[in-house]
Amino acid sequence: MVETPVQHPFRIFIFATMSVLFFSFMNLFVKLAAEDHAVVEIMFFRNALAILPVLMLIQAHKEGFGLLKTKRPLGHLLRGTVGTGSMGLVFLSYAMLPLADATAIQFAMPLMLTALSVPLLGEYVGRWRWGAVILGFVGVLVMVAPATGATPNWAGIGVALAAAFTTACTMTIVRRLGRTEHALTIVFYFSLWGSIVCALFLPWYWTPPSFESFMYLVGTGISGGIGQIFLTRAYAEGPAAYVSPFGYLMIVFSALFGWAIWAEVPAWNVWAGTAIVILSGLVILWRELRNHRRLAQDALMENAPTDVDVLEETGQDIDPVTYTQPEPENQKAA
């Protein structure tokens, strides 16, 4: 059986990488905002403010607000409900566990997503893609090795694993919606539904923000909205098993932010794990680019005109057995 092909591997790689970068910014703002605000309040700003850049991109699109028309409202409702729950579990895991532990456990998501993509999406996952996912996960474990010796917080671990599973389910739904819905349509309805759900709980969790914390909340919404657009485009265009390994790059950006903002110098195991993570993504990208070039060459060869095509187009006679031109009569006589 042939693996599900990737039509535009480099473009999808850019989408996936940019989504990881902006989500890393979002996690940074979430961590800063969580010092003064509840998870529900942060989620409200994350969803409500994400609508603004999405609407700007919709208005700039050639179809304009016609993108908001959908024939799959129940699909958007399911995506919004599961996605909002997943977001809450992700943010909660950051509050219950050390950031490195929570991030590492949630990186089980690509393994879960790769497994779900087979029965739910009908995608075939070959050895190379499974290998890239597992290799990337090994790199994450190398990075967080010192933290694994602490006494386990089973409640926090359970929340992080639930976050990974619900995120995998969300990406599976996005992949199915992406077959008929534009990425901006998916992100708009997700952000809208998430804002409504979180707003219902604000009377019990609202804390008036200071100027500084308000900027963190705004940064959470804007960076999260842009990251969501890139992520939706990536999963809408590419097989889940190809896109998901690039999510491991998030821990690389997190380490860089920690060094730049809090002067946290990563230990040797972080650098070693980072190298493994990057290698896992580059290996699968290289393979998909090579396969894409081979498929393109095969398509060119299939469509290239043969000698028989040329003879038929010029109206010349063709021998039905050898598919060659018969010799002229004067040459036979000679």
**Mean pLDDT, residues 101-120:** 70
Q: pLDDT tens for residues 218-248?
A: 998 888 888 877 887 887 777 766 776 777 7
- Tell which residue, 168, 154, 170, 172, has the closest CA to residue 111: 168
Q: What Å distances lie between residue 119 and 7, 116, 172, 240, 279, CA to CA?
A: 21, 6, 11, 12, 28
Quick one: pLDDT band at residue 152, thresholds 50, 70, 90? low
Helix (H, G, I), strand (E, B) or coil at 266: coil
Q: How many domains does the chain have?
A: 1
Residue 100 in domain: yes
What pLDDT score does 199 carry?
93
Q: pLDDT tens for residues 30-48?
A: 888 888 889 899 999 988 9
Structural domain for 57, as ranges = 9-297
Residue 141 in domain: yes
**Mean pLDDT, residues 46-59:** 85
Residue 149 in domain: yes
What pLDDT score does 321 carry?
43
Q: Is the pTM of this model over 0.85?
A: no
| Contact (Cβ atoms closer than 8 angstroms) between residue 172 and residue 1 | no
Residue 311 in domain: no
Residue 334 in domain: no
| Contact (Cβ atoms closer than 8 angstroms) between residue 243 and residue 135 | no
The percentage of the chain sitting over the pLDDT mark of 90, rounded to a whole number, equals: 11
Tell me: pLDDT of 171 over 60. yes
Q: What is the 3-state secondary structure (H, E, C) of 103-126?
A: HHHHCCHHHHHHHHHHHHHCCCCC
Residue 156 in domain: yes
Tell me: pLDDT of 25 over 60. yes
**Mean pLDDT, residues 134-151:** 68
Tell me: pLDDT of 200 over 90. yes
Top-confidence residue, 292 or 21: 21
What pLDDT score does 156 carry?
80
Quick one: pLDDT band at residue 121, thresholds 50, 70, 90? low
Tell me: pLDDT of 304 over 60. no
Tell me: pLDDT of 145 over 80. no
Residue 324 in domain: no
**Mean pLDDT, residues 126-142:** 76
**Mean pLDDT, residues 181-204:** 90
| Contact (Cβ atoms closer than 8 angstroms) between residue 244 and residue 132 | no
Query: Cα separation of 69 and 176, whole Å?
Result: 17
Residue 28 in domain: yes
What pLDDT score does 140 carry?
72
Helix (H, G, I), strand (E, B) or coil at 229: helix
**Mean pLDDT, residues 179-189:** 85
Q: pLDDT tens for residues 247-303?
A: 777 777 777 777 777 676 666 776 777 677 777 767 766 776 676 566 545 544 455
Query: Cα separation of 188 and 194, whole Å?
Result: 10
What pLDDT score does 271 carry?
72
Mean pLDDT across the chain: 76
